[in-house]
Structure 1
Amino acid sequence: MTTDQDTSSASWSATRVADILLEAERAATSRTSLSAEWPGLTLPVAYQAQDIALQIRKARGENITGIKLGLTSRAKQKQMGVDAPSVAWLTDVMALSAGDPVPRTQLIHPRAEPEIGFVMGRRLSGPGVTAAQALAAVDWVFGAIEIIDSRYAGFKFTLADAVADNNSSGKYVTGPILRSPDSLDLGLEACLLEIDGQVVDTATGAAVQGHPAEALAFAANTLADRGHAIEPGWVVLTGGMTDAVAIEPGARVAAHFTSLGSVTISGG
């Protein structure tokens, strides 16, 4: 683990970024954005840090379960001043079983967002993957709630900060229903997001890059640039359909999908 406190540019590296953010995650302690301290934190360096952190996670016993996308909403992209989503990793320690409360002691400031997820049936490798090709590689579609948790105070960060932080990964819960992609119109698949029985937001799958399959294709093509592919059996979370909402202690958050059932979590 990096312990050097020198903040000169020469002391920084993708490895140090990975170490700092993994330690913040372990300690459930927020910090200021890294880009505020190191202008050298570019998007390519951030993805390097993300991949280094994945190797550290694997070395300590975590297993890859899939990938997650961030900034798939056009509104969120405009807010961040970007024109494309970002991709990050999912591991088994991030998965919660249905009915499990949010593990608040492991998280800093959890927020929930409903998502459309995929279970991959075959390997999907870019470049040049289209949305139609991406969807043809999917076995099953499900609804999910992702519990994001930035390591940055107040969720204040640049795109490179977020990517280095594994797209604010926290936990995720998958829904009870699996449907074939051929049986759904994913662009029209709707979701109601509730907190304690009150609807706080609504959206359809079209909020995710116009169609969740577009997000999947983007992920395959972006991962190819880094020497990776999306493997059979992996889970893919295609990105928040609505804005993320804070999960308060004791709260009940539910996402109700048109065809994919309901997913409920307890605030712990």
Structure 2
Amino acid sequence: MSTGAITTAAQRLLTAMDQRKPCPPVRDLIGPTDVTAAYAVQQLLTQDRMERGAVVVGRKIGLTNPAVQQQLGVDRPDFGVLFADMDYTGTPIPRTALLQPKVEAEIAFVLGEDLAGGLSAETVRRAVTGSHAAIEVVDSRIADWDISYADTVADNASAGLYVLGDRLPTGVDTSSVTMTMTVNGETASIGCGTDCLGGPLKALLWLAETARDLGEPLRAGHIILSGALGPMVAVHPGDHVEARIVLSDEPIGTAVVDFAAEPR
């Protein structure tokens, strides 16, 4: 893949962000399945954001749920970068912050140590100092969500914003939880821990290994959104979203986000 094609793809996405207008897919430039080229585009976008003052606070794992993979026509997970200004915990989200928002209920992990060396399920489990109910607000700079795997990877794994909810009990088995997400009080998505790549900690292990192998390991203090527990759902101005995490019929945590209504 030529450097020119990668640079042109990155510029297309940057223009969409700056002008707040979705753009055509970038697969005409980098192909629909070229993982290396897609992450090279993502890296250029990350570099641009950091040069503008953005601060990296973690990563997000995407496409872990079979239902979401089916929704988007892909067959493997991906990852993107979280920045500090993506955190809207406790703050209504203005319409101008997003282009084509959808929501996913997730488990978020906070790391207490680096995940840079030999990795196993146990080392990953020990590295987690806290877990939270969370809502990821995914967004696509690609018009009409017309994305291939390479399109979403290049577009920072369709990252938008996120909200952290209640801290979950220490040592909770996140693979055994169930989830119900409501929009304006109506059930919009249901799922369970095993729908997230077999379990959220398994998804975290996949990310830790992938990031380490790419030379950009996960670090202490990082927030990790581990992937959707159920299908993603489109949202609109004025919507109120709640994601409830349950274990053995007992509620253990909730995340809430409001989308500001359109001004009259």
Indicate whether the TM-score tops 0.5: yes
Normalising by structure 2, we get a TM-score of 0.90
Preserved contact between residue 39 and residue 154 of structure 2 (Cα < 8 Å)? yes
State the superposition RMSD in angstroms: 2.0
Runs of at least 5 residues in structure 2 that lack an aligned partner in the other structure: none
TM superposition shift of 1:261: 1.8
Separation in structure 2 between the aligned mates of residue 14 and residue 168 of structure 1, nearest angstrom: 17
Q: Residue in 2 aligned with 1:77?
A: 69
Separation in structure 1 between the aligned mates of residue 146 and residue 20 of structure 2, nearest angstrom: 16
Preserved contact between residue 32 and residue 148 of structure 2 (Cα < 8 Å)? no
Runs of at least 5 residues in structure 1 that lack an aligned partner in the other structure: 1-8
Separation in structure 1 between the aligned mates of residue 125 and residue 3 of structure 2, nearest angstrom: 43
Preserved contact between residue 137 and residue 160 of structure 2 (Cα < 8 Å)? yes
Separation in structure 2 between the aligned mates of residue 201 and residue 40 of structure 1, nearest angstrom: 28
1:108-147 equivalence runs, <5 A: 108-125=99-116, 129-147=119-137
Deviation digits for residues 126-177 of structure 1 (CA, Å, limit 9, x no counterpart): 5x63333212211101011000110111111110110000011110000132
TM superposition shift of 1:236: 0.2
Specify which of 160, 170, 175 is matched with residue 165 of structure 2: 175
Q: Residue in 1 aligned with 2:218?
A: 230
Preserved contact between residue 43 and residue 160 of structure 1 (Cα < 8 Å)? yes
More deviation, 161-170/196-205: 196-205
Q: Residue in 2 aligned with 1:199?
A: 187
TM superposition shift of 1:125: 2.0
TM superposition shift of 1:249: 1.4
Specify which of 254, 257, 260 is matched with residue 242 of structure 2: 254
Preserved contact between residue 189 and residue 232 of structure 2 (Cα < 8 Å)? no
Question: Identity over aligned residues, as a percent?
Answer: 33
Deviation digits for residues 33-88 of structure 1 (CA, Å, limit 9, x no counterpart): 11135538721011111112112111111101100001101333356565431111
Normalising by structure 1, we get a TM-score of 0.88
Preserved contact between residue 9 and residue 30 of structure 2 (Cα < 8 Å)? no
Structure 2 counterpart of 1:263, which letter? A
Deviation digits for residues 188-242 of structure 1 (CA, Å, limit 9, x no counterpart): 1121100111112211111101111111111111112321100001000011111
Q: Residue in 1 aligned with 2:88?
A: 96
Separation in structure 1 between the aligned mates of residue 29 and residue 215 of structure 2, nearest angstrom: 29
Preserved contact between residue 130 and residue 167 of structure 2 (Cα < 8 Å)? no
